[in-house]
């Protein structure tokens, strides 16, 4: 091999190490240096693969009700550690939310007969939910956002992409669960919002099978999946809620089925009506079973059959309660048949309403709708001011906007945003609502009161983890043009920015 070719190879490997790990370990130009650099790269990649596997396993445990697993933090200080830190912050806030919820319920019981104090408590609870929503959804925004960025990386191999898809699906379902816990009154009254979008059933089932593959291998469980050939490959509905149902039922089966037992997931095409396909989901196991007099109790929140089982199998007792409520809201039904020491069978029947999409067999194809950029009368790069106090979310928004070639200046609160606007020109402001010194509402009011016509009328887009019903009206009252909740989709954020600037 010629010396020039050797130097080219060495330069290439060093560039990969510097780009991926901010490090190179040699400074010569010999074959030994090439070997050392390649060895370093191989060890780093293997380390990332092992850490990713641990993360997947930890998050998968959440579906069995074990919400309080912390993810390990390494000394690499890379994107995986940013993800783990965000997840661990979310776990801490979830603990605080559950403890605070119990405290709020106790206070409610004492004040039920005192009208004036009850009204004051309602305001306090709304503020509490607003704070909890912000504190929990903010780190979750970082988790899902950085996962999306990693999924869009061109260097991603198929194995890592599949693992990141598991994280994304897990994060989406965790987001749904967090929303339900933060607003139990909403799910009790059936006021949760269901999506109505086409999804690929085979892809969903494949992700579920792969996610539980480690558990089945560890316990040597015979896990079978059967899908009726008559069932359309693509269905229309809320894939996240369907995933939540499946993960909870299969997670319970895994938890209560002994080693070398059997679990069978069957998806059956039950019936076709004028406006819907009726699908039956069956999860059967050879587990410990449920006594007949306790079957109804398993659907009550925070209920487990015995303290001994709670200690042995873990979990919070929320999973089945949430499933039943979701099934009811989806106009379906859930039944359970069980015998102690024989096994348990859960049967969920759900309608999937038809639409204008072609749902006939495996030929169903959906092309991703590309957003067409509005015509903007701007002959330069768009410049955005971001007011956000959370460092992880600052980095996330900057990286998302850089994909669309948008400059982003970051400040940590509303007061600094106002100062930046007075000294620089921006096309739009992205405004977090809950910040120290001056929050987003106060900053928006101050901006709308400016004398400079151009600066006072700058578009303001609220980007916040606060999701209470009063947020939209509060934003309008202070002159905020549009509101997006965290976690957000990158394309949704870009579209909102372009529309607001175009309307201006």
In a domain, 369, yes or no: no
Give yes or no: residues 303 and 392 share one domain.
no
Token pair recorded at residue 55: 């993360």
Give the end of a domain, one of 181, 214, 239: 181
Q: What Rg do the C-alpha atoms of the chain give, in angstroms?
A: 26
Give yes or no: residues 176 and 229 share one domain.
no
Give yes or no: residues 357 and 388 share one domain.
no
- Angstrom distances, CA of residue 401 to CA of 49, 171, 420: 28, 22, 19
Torsion of CA 118, 119, 123, 126, to 10 degrees: 60
Output the domain CATH number for residue 445.
3.40.50.2300
Give the end of a domain, one of 136, 152, 181: 181
β-strands 276-285, 262-272: how paired? antiparallel
Give yes or no: residues 303 and 333 share one domain.
yes
In a domain, 327, yes or no: yes
In a domain, 367, yes or no: no
Give the end of a domain, one of 146, 181, 216: 181
Helices (H), 113-197: 115-151, 158-182, 184-188
β-strands 428-431, 383-387: how paired? parallel
Give yes or no: residues 413 and 324 share one domain.
no
* Dihedrals phi, psi of 122, to nearest 5 degrees: -60, -40
Residue closest to 24 by CA, chosen among 32, 6, 36, 42:
36
Output the domain CATH number for residue 332.
3.30.565.10
Residue closest to 173 by CA, chosen among 200, 198, 144:
144
Contact 91, 70 (CB under 8 A): yes
In a domain, 366, yes or no: no
Give yes or no: residues 210 and 356 share one domain.
yes
In a domain, 190, yes or no: no
Give yes or no: residues 67 and 150 share one domain.
yes
Residue closest to 457 by CA, chosen among 503, 494, 495, 420:
503
For 8, the domain range is: 1-181
Give yes or no: residues 172 and 64 share one domain.
yes
Give yes or no: residues 60 and 176 share one domain.
yes
How far apart are the C-alpha atoms of 272 and 359, rounded to whole Å? 12
Torsion of CA 227, 228, 234, 237, to 10 degrees: -80
Give yes or no: residues 83 and 23 share one domain.
yes
Give yes or no: residues 295 and 413 share one domain.
no
How far apart are the C-alpha atoms of 34 and 2, rounded to whole Å? 14
Give yes or no: residues 209 and 329 share one domain.
yes
In a domain, 234, yes or no: yes
Q: How many domains does the chain contain in total?
A: 3
Token pair recorded at residue 266: 């069957």
Residue pLDDT tens, the chain, 504 long: 566 778 888 888 888 777 666 777 788 888 888 888 888 888 888 888 888 888 777 777 766 666 667 778 877 777 777 788 887 887 777 777 776 777 777 777 776 666 666 666 656 656 666 666 666 767 777 787 788 888 877 777 888 887 788 787 777 767 766 665 655 555 655 556 677 888 888 888 888 888 788 788 888 999 999 999 888 888 998 888 898 889 889 988 988 899 999 999 999 998 888 888 999 999 999 998 888 888 878 887 655 554 454 444 444 455 788 788 889 888 999 999 999 989 999 999 999 988 644 333 333 333 333 344 444 556 678 999 999 988 888 888 998 999 899 999 999 999 999 999 999 999 999 999 888 889 999 999 999 999 999 899 999 999 887 666 567 788 899 999 998 888 788 888 999 999 999 887
């Amino acid at each position: 091999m010629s010396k020039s070719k050797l130097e080219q190879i060495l330069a290439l490997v060093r560039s990969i190490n510097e780009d991926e790990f901010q490090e190179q370990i040699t400074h010569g130009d010999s074959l030994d240096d090439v070997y050392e650099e390649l060895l370093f790269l191989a060890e780093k990649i293997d380390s990332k693969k092992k850490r990713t596997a641990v993360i997947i396993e930890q998050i998968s445990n959440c579906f069995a009700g074990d919400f309080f697993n912390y993810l390990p933090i390494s000394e690499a200080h890379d994107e995986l550690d940013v993800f783990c830190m965000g997840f661990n912050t979310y776990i801490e806030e979830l603990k605080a939310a559950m403890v605070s919820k119990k405290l709020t319920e106790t206070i409610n019981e004492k004040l039920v007969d005192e009208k004036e104090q009850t009204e004051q408590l309602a305001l306090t609870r709304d503020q509490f939910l607003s704070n909890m929503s912000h504190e929990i959804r903010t780190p979750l925004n970082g988790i899902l956002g950085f996962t999306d960025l990693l999924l869009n990386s061109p260097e991603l191999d198929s194995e890592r992409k599949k693992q990141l898809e598991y994280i994304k699906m897990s994060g989406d379902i965790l987001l749904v669960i967090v929303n339900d816990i933060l607003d139990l009154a909403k799910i009790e009254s059936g006021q949760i919002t269901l999506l109505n979008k086409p999804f690929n059933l085979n892809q969903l089932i494949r992700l579920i099978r792969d996610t539980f593959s480690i558990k089945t291998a560890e316990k040597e469980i015979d896990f079978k999946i059967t899908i009726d050939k008559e069932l359309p490959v693509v269905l229309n509905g809320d894939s996240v809620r369907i995933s939540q149902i499946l993960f909870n039922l299969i997670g319970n089966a895994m938890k209560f089925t002994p080693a070398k037992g059997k679990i069978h997931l069957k998806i059956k095409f039950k019936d076709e009506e004028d406006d819907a396909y009726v699908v039956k989901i069956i999860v059967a196991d050879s587990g410990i079973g449920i006594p007949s007099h306790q079957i109804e109790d398993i659907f009550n929140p925070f209920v487990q059959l015995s303290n001994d089982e709670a200690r042995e199998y873990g979990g919070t007792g929320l999973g089945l309660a949430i499933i039943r409520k979701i099934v009811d809201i989806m106009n379906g039904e859930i039944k359970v048949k069980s015998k102690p020491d024989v096994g348990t069978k859960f049967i969920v029947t759900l309608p999937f309403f038809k639409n204008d999409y072609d749902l006939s067999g495996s030929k169903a194809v959906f092309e991703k709708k590309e957003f067409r950029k509005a015509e903007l009368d701007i002959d330069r790069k768009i410049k955005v001011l971001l007011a956000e106090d959370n460092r992880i979310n600052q980095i996330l928004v900057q990286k998302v906007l850089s994909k669309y070639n948008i400059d982003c200046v970051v400040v940590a609160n509303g007061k600094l945003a106002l100062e930046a606007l007075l000294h620089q020109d921006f096309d739009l402001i992205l405004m977090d609502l809950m910040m120290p010194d001056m929050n987003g509402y106060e900053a928006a009011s101050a901006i709308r009161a400016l004398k400079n016509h151009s600066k006072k009328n700058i578009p303001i887009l609220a980007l916040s983890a606060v999701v209470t019903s009063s947020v939209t009206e509060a934003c309008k009252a202070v002159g905020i043009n549009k509101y997006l909740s965290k976690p957000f989709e990158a394309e949704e954020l870009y579209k909102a920015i372009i529309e607001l600037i175009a309307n201006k």
